[in-house]
Amino acid sequence: MDSNKQRKDPRFKIAVKEAWIGIGLVLFNFAWWFGFAYGPLGSRSVENYQFILGLPAWFFYSCVAGFIVMAILVILAVKLFFKDVSFDDEEEGEAEIK
């Protein structure tokens, strides 16, 4: 498929939009994890750690709560912004029918 056909094919525009959403989710996930792991909660002295369910608070928020938040965000992104796109090439399908 040449680049001219790619520009006209709406599937590529959808794929690019969905890729940017995925990149945004990854960056948010890293910022969430890094903020809790190396931010005010994670940079405290070990003697001053607070614990949630037996885990240090920084670990609980960065890994456990972060996983739950990201799972919800990914589900919402897929349901709200992603579209079902056919992988079949329209021209190939027409050629097989003829």
Give pLDDT tens digits for 53-81. 999 999 999 999 999 999 999 999 999 99
Please give the DSSP secondary-structure letter assigned to residue 56.
Answer: E
Backbone φ and ψ for 45, nearest 5 degrees, come out as -70, 150
Q: How far, in Å, CA of 65 to CA of 89, rounded?
A: 42
Domain ranges (residues) in the chain: 3-83
The residue that leads in pLDDT, 77 or 41, is 77
0.85 surpassed by pTM: no
